[in-house]
Amino acid sequence: MAAGLRRILVMGGVVAGVGLVALGVALMLTWPDNALGDYLQIRRSQAATVRALARMAAAGTDPLRAAFYAAWLAEENGDLRDAIRRFRAVSDAAPPGSRLRRDALIRLGLVYGQDGQADAELAIYQELMRQYPGASRLSQALFHLRRGERARARALLDQALDRDARDGSLGADRELARVLRRGLGPEEPAAVSH
């Protein structure tokens, strides 16, 4: 019995060793385009973002812009409650119609979403829609895409792009809206009931 158990353990060790070698070879052949490479790249990117935000928050000559970066830094560090409080303060203090106010409200909506407060997130996007029609439709479309509501996202992107054609309201977000819309494809046919 001991010899049989020993043979099983040796074979198990050989199989585990071959499996580890195969895993190592697969990682080498697909590096960096594999899950581990993606994970490490995301971690490096997030660390660089945090360092950049910390520098911008500390070096800001405009106190309101510095407060915006401090709020974003809180978000990146995972302190969502603090980020919500800070983004709300920036949006309240920024001049109405300003890019800083718009950016603070967009980030506030995103943080509400990360915090699981979907109703508050949607309320922010609706407020944005009243104040900044083009950019807010894009934000709402992203909200509905995360929820899997492709038809609603498609309709919002169509509205945003139509309005942008008239007034340029999407600005720098125009290409993102176009890419998202192309990715959603043509309108899905209505279901036929029998």
- Show the tokens assigned to 192: 């036929």
- For residue 11, give the amino acid letter: M
The helix (run of H) or strand (run of E) holding residue 183 is: helix 174-184
What is the reported pTM? 0.57
Whether residue 190 lies inside any domain: the answer is no
119 in the same domain as 169: no
Q: What is the DSSP string of 39-96?
A: HHHHHHHHHHHHHHHHHHHHH-SSHHHHHHHHHHHHHHTT-HHHHHHHHHHHHHHSPT
**Domain boundaries, position 175:** 132-183
> 2-25 pLDDT, tens per residue?
778 888 888 888 887 777 777 777
What is the C-alpha to C-alpha distance for residues 161 and 171, in angstroms, rounded to an integer?
11
pLDDT at 1 (0 to 100)? 59
Contact 86, 71 (CB under 8 A): yes
Residue 182's Cβ-count burial label (10 Å; 0-12, 13-18, 19+) is exposed
pLDDT, one tens digit per residue, over 121-131 is 989 988 887 87
CATH number at residue 46: 1.25.40.10
Considering the domain boundaries, does residue 23 fall inside one?
A: no
